[in-house]
Amino acid sequence: MKVTSDIDPRSNRYISLGLEKAIEMNVDYVILELDTYGGALTDADEIRTAILNYERPIYAFINKDAASAGALISIACDSIFMSTGSSIGAATVVTGEGEAAPDKYQSYMRSIMRSTAESKGRNPEIAEAMVDEEIRLDSLIKDDKVLTFSVSEAIEYGFCEAEVESIADIMLRSGITQYDIDLFELNWSERFIALFLNPAISGVLILLILGGLYFELQSPGLGFPIIASIVAALLYFTPYYLNGLAENWEIIVFFIGLMLISLEVFIIPGFGIPGILGLIFTIGSLTLVMVNNDGLNFDLIEASLLNNALITSLIGFIGALFLMIVLGASLTKTSFFNRFALTKVQDTSTGYTSSFYNKSLIGSIGTVVSVMRPSGRIIIDDAIYDAYTRGEYLKKGEKIKVIAAEGTSLKVQKSAS
């Protein structure tokens, strides 16, 4: 397996599926080729756990860099091999701005680096020194810097078995001469899922979800916007759900948010508490889906990851808002829109009518044949019609007068005669 990018949900899923495939194929060894500067602590921890629980040998082949989360993953492997010029270490947890994260993250990283090293027979103090520059080892004096090993240093202190240039070298040093190598690659469906785990793609999908809903509400029955919104929602939630990031309650919160916004738009005039809560729930759920939180516990989620997820959601929301304001009015003037929507005015001067009844019925006197509360049925000259009042309650047998003939019912009032 090759991991040559940041440690994130995509690499987490790749390694998880790779180990499942290795078990299915009953392979003898797994080699994890790494060239990474690190990434998300939560994903690195899950990868570390999966490697520790794997029952057959896993070798780390550091082909240039295994920093931060990459160092943790390497130390979890049974053997570590490094190519010329490679390095391992610098496992301090940092924010998106490159600054050291708060101590709760460092403390957790120190503990799992230490325990992982112990489980593989490596020096736990050295592993811990890769996280915390304040840990000073007499034999490894580094002035105010976290520990990073070159190849020769890693070999000297037991964090590398040998310097190699290829997988063939690793096999030769392991005493294995007859072997077949199978490079694990994601199939097209998994590559498709991995694509939509990209935060940039997520931002575009959020824009389509919200923008599609808005344009559908503006032009009910148009069809295309709501289809685009539904497809975007499926493409957004499904990959995160399959990757274990999107929890059921987060998806439910999203739909509750949409219901509250719909309530505000269609039932409650103005924009008040339901609308505000709807926006908070909708944007909040879209944000939480992208991070590996444990319910409402965010202790092990780096602030930078949470901030990036929130920024992605807000960019998608602002983009949708831009479409609503700037493109909303111009869309109705395009030829594309005219293919789907009726844009001509159907007025009476051109022969159109909104009434099912002849205007001559206006002024006619009839009798109520079913109780009107306020709609019911009336009879005029032995013909029965649907009718409604302006809110009056009329009993069966009462006399009525037709005052309007519009739509599918006659508008009536109680007759004085």
**pLDDT confidence band for 98 (50 / 70 / 90):** low
Burial 46-85 (b: 16+ CB within 10 A, else e): bbbebbeebeeebbbbbbebbbbbbbbbbbbbbbbbbbee
**Mean pLDDT score, 59-81:** 94
CA distance 335 to 350: 23
Paired tokens of 213: 């809903």
User: What's the pLDDT at 280?
Assistant: 86
User: What's the pLDDT at 70?
Assistant: 93
**Mean pLDDT score, 92-96:** 71
User: What's the pLDDT at 57?
Assistant: 95
Other CB atoms within 10 Å distance of the CB of residue 222? 15
**Mean pLDDT score, 83-100:** 80
**Mean pLDDT score, 313-331:** 70
Taking 60 as the threshold, does the pLDDT of residue 352 lie above it? no
The answer to whether 261 touches 278, Cβ cutoff 8 Å, is yes
User: What's the pLDDT at 31?
Assistant: 96
User: What's the pLDDT at 60?
Assistant: 96
Taking 60 as the threshold, does the pLDDT of residue 8 lie above it? yes
Q: Provide the 8-state DSSP code for 101.
A: P
Phi and psi of 403, rounded to 5°? -115, -10
CA distance 5 to 34: 9
Q: Is 265 helix (H, G, I), strand (E, B) or coil?
A: helix
Q: Where is mean pLDDT largest: 174-178, 197-201, 331-335, 371-375?
A: 174-178
Paired tokens of 390: 């302006």
User: Domain residues of the chain, as ranges?
Assistant: 2-173, 188-340, 350-414
Sequence-distant (6+) residues with CB within 8 A of 305 are 40, 96, 291
User: What's the pLDDT at 314?
Assistant: 81
Query: The domain 350-414: what is its CATH number?
Result: 2.40.50.140
Q: Kindly report, residue by residue over 27-56, the tens digit of the pLDDT.
A: 999 999 999 988 888 889 999 999 999 999
Are domains 2-173 and 350-414 of this chain identical in fold?
A: no
User: What's the pLDDT at 205?
Assistant: 85
Which segments of 15-95 are extended strands (E)? 30-36, 58-67, 79-82, 87-89
Q: Kindly report, residue by residue over 190-249, the tens digit of the pLDDT.
A: 887 777 777 778 888 888 888 777 776 666 555 677 788 888 888 888 888 887 777 888
Which segments of 359-398 are extended strands (E)? 365-368, 375-380, 383-388
CA distance 7 to 37: 8
Q: For residue 50, which of 294, 244, 199 has the smallest C-alpha distance?
A: 244
Taking 90 as the threshold, does the pLDDT of residue 303 lie above it? no
**pLDDT confidence band for 322 (50 / 70 / 90):** confident
Using DSSP bridges, classify how beta strands 58-67 and 399-406 pair: parallel, antiparallel or unpaired: unpaired
pTM of the model: 0.64
Q: Kindly report, residue by residue over 147-164, the tens digit of the pLDDT.
A: 889 999 999 999 999 999
Amino acid at 249: W
User: What's the pLDDT at 84?
Assistant: 94
**Mean pLDDT score, 386-413:** 84
The answer to whether 130 touches 89, Cβ cutoff 8 Å, is yes
Tell me which of 94-98, 219-223, 300-304 is least confident.
219-223
CA distances from 301 to 131, 179, 214, 270, 309 (A): 17, 41, 33, 37, 11
**pLDDT confidence band for 299 (50 / 70 / 90):** low
Paired tokens of 353: 């009518």
Taking 90 as the threshold, does the pLDDT of residue 118 lie above it? yes
**pLDDT confidence band for 166 (50 / 70 / 90):** very high
**Mean pLDDT score, 297-320:** 75
User: For residues 326 and 253, which has the higher predicted lDDT (pLDDT)?
Assistant: 253
User: What's the pLDDT at 74?
Assistant: 96
The answer to whether 287 touches 309, Cβ cutoff 8 Å, is yes
Identify whether 374 is preceded by a cis peptide bond (ω within 30 of 0): yes
**pLDDT confidence band for 351 (50 / 70 / 90):** low
**pLDDT confidence band for 311 (50 / 70 / 90):** confident
The answer to whether 5 touches 36, Cβ cutoff 8 Å, is yes
User: What's the pLDDT at 146?
Assistant: 81
Amino acid at 280: I
Other CB atoms within 10 Å distance of the CB of residue 272? 10
Q: For residue 11, which of 19, 61, 56 has the smallest C-alpha distance?
A: 19
Paired tokens of 394: 């009329």
Taking 80 as the threshold, does the pLDDT of residue 79 lie above it? yes
**What does pLDDT average to over the chain?**
82
Tell me the percentage of the chain whose pLDDT exceeds 90: 30
Which CATH fold topology does 2-173 show?
A: 2-enoyl-CoA Hydratase; Chain A, domain 1 (3.90.226)
Q: For residue 248, which of 228, 206, 240 has the smallest C-alpha distance?
A: 240
